[in-house]
Amino acid sequence: MTTYTPKASEIDRQWHVVDAEGLVLGRLATEVARLLRGKHKPTFTPNTDMGDHVIIINASKVVLTSGKAEKKMVYDHSGFPGGLRAQSYAEALERKPAEAVRRTVKGMLPKNRLGAQMLTKLKVYAGETHPHGAQNPVQLDLPQAVARIRA
């Protein structure tokens, strides 16, 4: 008995749009990472890029729970001694919200060339518009457990 491995020509990629307004950042990132890896497909193979393209809009309106916006830090290092820079997630979301969301999703993907290839299929925009209308993306409704925080 042999294990089925799909060829590159057999992989069907779709485009999804996720509206991040009011969504919890971590829960949004796990669902997007799952789509980018292709774990939602029955032919999922861990060593192959099977995932779909994901467009995230309204990245500036994501939410962090229980005061994490001020407590949680984003670190960046230049590679030189003393080159460590730190800022809170609130500052990162204020300055470059698309980059903060992209970085969160990147942390949930494999740390190798395959993960870098999967990350190229992620498009993040701070506002409501995106230039990918020609690909006919499908609006993705996340499950209620993921979707909205309770007031």
CATH number for the domain whose boundaries are 14-144: 3.90.1180.10
Q: pTM value?
A: 0.90
The answer, yes or no, to whether residue 151 has pLDDT greater than 50, is no
Q: How would DSSP label each residue in 53-114?
A: EEEEE-GGG-B-STTHHHHSEEEEE-SSTT-EEEEEHHHHHHH-HHHHHHHHHHTTS-SSHH
More confident site: 120 or 4: 120
The answer, yes or no, to whether residue 149 has pLDDT greater than 70, is no
pLDDT given for residue 148 in this prediction: 53
pLDDT given for residue 141 in this prediction: 86
The domain spans of the chain are: 14-144
- pLDDT tens for 1-50 read 888 888 889 999 999 999 999 999 999 999 999 999 999 999 999 999 99
